[in-house]
Amino acid sequence: MIIAKTKYELNEALGQISLSPGKLALVPTMGNLHQGHLSLVKLAKLNSSKTITTIFVNPLQFGKNDDFDNYPRTIEQDIKKLNDENCDILFLPKSRNEMFPDETEIQLIKSGSLGKELCGKLRPDHFDGVLTVVHRMFNIIKPDIAVFGAKDYQQQILIRNMSKSYFPNLNILTAPIVRSNNGLALSSRNNYLSNEELDLASNLFKCLKKSVDLYQLGESIEVIIKTAKEFLISINLVPDYYEIRDELLSPIFNSDQVGKKVILGSLKIGNTRIIDNIEFNS
């Protein structure tokens, strides 16, 4: 695996692998890689002949009360895992300047009204920061394919929308959520939780599954959400939001609407925010 730490080294690496035929797939990450991230690399390799992973803890998507300085950084372990997956290139910018050489000329990508809902209500400007750095990566790497995880459902919808506008020929793939044995979606922020808190957090997914069952039985959306919130509160988990939406994240007002849907939930355990979702058809 080629490790590029500067824009110059990245261009050299991309030029080297461009000599071989086939599509290039990009897997953007912030590191601290777990099996969820590696599933993205696996999906990328299934759909391309050349794979590049990026590890960049993007300061633009962290608010003033977020955990940028404490975000887990495990570079040596990450490199070994990517080597084991036979990733072709790792872009590991040595500084913020390698991504944004002239901060006065950063092309800020706005996430619009959808970026202010759900997680966007809790983290103002977060999705603007995500879209800005992803847009920058797409511009400098020019992949044929980009792979994102379904756990960050709102994020991947916003990236798809941005990509349609700026990179219409780019194929965006979404990999399924990878879960631990108790159902908790894998996340780098799970490292902040104790074993007891990890068990407690798994109740969010149990709640999502129960909500799908109630929806399929014809229960009203109002009752489904009320039941879910009451259950979570009963075990000292206060949801930041818990909503049922269609696959493009437009609100759903009655359970008669057919088609693909998603239930999304968010809550905090201590200072750690847990997000999850479940997709289903009705």
Q: Is 126 a catalytic residue?
A: no
Q: What is the DSSP code (8-state) at residue 185?
A: B
Query: Which listed residue (34, 37, 126, 135) is catalytic?
Result: 37
Per DSSP, which regions of the chain are E strands?
A: 2-4, 24-29, 50-55, 89-91, 145-149, 171-175, 239-246, 260-269, 272-281
How far is residue 3's CA from residue 54's CA, in Å, rounded to a whole number? 10
Q: Which residues contact 157 (CB under 8 A, 6 or more apart)?
A: 114, 248, 249
Catalytic residue numbers read 37
